[in-house]
């Protein structure tokens, strides 16, 4: 059910009309684009399809004037640099990849192949770009809002569901260094304690989740990354099993059974990434293409999960939800 969103539309500025895109290909007939993610092809199919759809709208047709070189880590994050090296050897003209872990892996093997990042946290602080307006290197794309205020927002939303919330679990890959420090700062301000469960490999999920539950957490924040995205259905099922209210930043997790999500639409971001690919294939330098930040955040509430775990969602939150899963 579509409802109203928290914030206005994503900033634009890179769209090229399809008819113009087709007309301006020039003498080049075939372009080669790399696609690198740490999860499986199956679990990220909607993201690839969104990118492909965006490219089609701009006149790039796979099998006609476009070759897509796809590489997937299948949950083994340590393989990402080797997979990135394969793309470089395949002589792709641009690499589209995901979060900070992905971009860092690509940068281990190349600082020259144009790279379009999607959903990275604080790319300036991570050293991927010099600044958002003029990245200055071979990396540009779309970032996620990594401000401390956003992480505090997650805790605040959980407290609206669990009014006396004092102990919160955090599940994610600690090595990514995304969100954990900000959550710690936010939790102190809200007088909450955190119990961090480090998820380092898919086969460690059960142990990490049950260890978090044994700490008697009353709710949880799931930090988005290749592993939690790959395992989002297991995370949703486990949260339901333990009647644990949980929140994250992507709607796909709420669709998989988590109680709430609050953040940008990931499929839309991958569709928009096609505009960066188009600009680069036409000769633009990543160094000169500004990084986009999300200004549209959607609250998704899984009402079925709320009923199953006995969580009471305030009417005020239901009214703010962009999507209410019933």
245 and 272, same domain (yes or no): no
- When pLDDT is cut at 50, 70 and 90, the band that residue 146 belongs to is low
Write the CATH number for 86.
Answer: 3.40.50.2300
Q: What is the pLDDT of residue 294?
A: 87
Structural domain of residue 168, as residue ranges?
Answer: 148-263+298-325
Q: For residue 11, tell me if it sits in a domain.
A: no
- Cα–Cα–Cα angle for 116, 121, 122, nearest 5°? 95
Q: pTM for the complete prediction?
A: 0.86
Judge whether 170 lies within some domain.
yes
258 found inside a domain? yes
**Residue 5 maps to a domain:** no
Residue 16, classified by CB atoms within 10 Å of its CB into exposed (0-12), middle (13-18) or buried (19+), is: middle
Contact 108, 139 (CB under 8 A): no
> What average pLDDT does range 193-206 have in this prediction?
95
The answer to whether residue 293 sits within a structural domain is no
CA distance 222 to 232: 9
58-89 pLDDT, tens digit per residue, is 999 999 999 999 999 999 999 999 999 999 99
Same domain for 186 and 117 = no
The answer on 259 and 270 residing in a single domain is: no
Pair 86, 123 in one domain: yes
Same domain? For 116 and 29 the reply is yes
Q: Do 24 and 115 lie in a common domain?
A: yes
205 and 173 belong to one structural domain: yes
Q: Are residues 254 and 274 in the same domain?
A: no
In degrees rounded to 5, what are phi and psi of residue 22? -65, -40
Strand 260-263 to 298-302 pairing = antiparallel
Contacts of residue 163, defined as CB under 8 A and 6 or more positions apart, other chains included, come to none
4 domain residue, yes or no: no
Checking if the pLDDT of 248 tops 50, the result is yes
Distances (CA, A) of 229 to 42, 75, 171: 11, 10, 12
């Amino acid at each position: 059910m579509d409802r109203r969103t928290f914030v206005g539309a994503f900033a634009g500025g890179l769209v090229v009309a399809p008819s113009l895109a087709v007309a301006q290909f020039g003498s080049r007939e075939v372009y080669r684009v790399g696609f690198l993610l740490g999860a499986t092809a199956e679990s990220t199919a909607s993201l690839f399809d969104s990118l492909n759809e965006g490219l089609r709208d701009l006149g790039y047709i796979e099998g006609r004037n476009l070759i897509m070189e796809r590489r997937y880590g299948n949950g083994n994050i340590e393989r990402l640099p080797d997979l990135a090296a394969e793309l470089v050897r395949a002589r792709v003209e641009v690499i589209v990849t995901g979060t900070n872990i992905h971009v860092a892996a690509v940068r281990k093997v190349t600082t020259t192949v144009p790279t379009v990042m999607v959903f990275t946290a604080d790319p300036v602080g991570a050293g991927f770009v010099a600044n958002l307006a003029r990245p200055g290197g071979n990396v540009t794309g779309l970032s996620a809002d990594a401000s401390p205020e956003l992480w505090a927002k997650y805790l605040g939303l959980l407290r609206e569901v669990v009014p006396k919330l004092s102990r919160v679990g955090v599940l994610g890959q600690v090595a990514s260094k995304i969100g954990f420090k900000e959550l710690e700062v936010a939790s102190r301000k809200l007088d909450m304690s955190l119990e961090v469960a480090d998820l380092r490999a898919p086969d460690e999920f059960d142990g990490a989740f049950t260890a978090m539950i044994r700490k008697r957490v009353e709710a949880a924040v799931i930090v988005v990354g290749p592993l939690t995205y790959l395992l989002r259905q297991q995370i949703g099922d486990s949260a339901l099993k333990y009647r644990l209210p949980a929140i994250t930043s992507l709607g796909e997790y709420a669709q998989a059974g988590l109680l709430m999500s609050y953040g940008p639409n990931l499929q839309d971001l991958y569709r928009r990434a096609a505009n960066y690919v188009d600009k680069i294939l036409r000769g633009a330098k990543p160094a000169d293409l500004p990084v986009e930040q999300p200004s549209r955040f959607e609250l998704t509430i899984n009402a079925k999960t709320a009923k199953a775990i006995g969580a009471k969602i305030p009417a005020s939150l239901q009214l703010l939800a962009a999507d209410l899963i019933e």
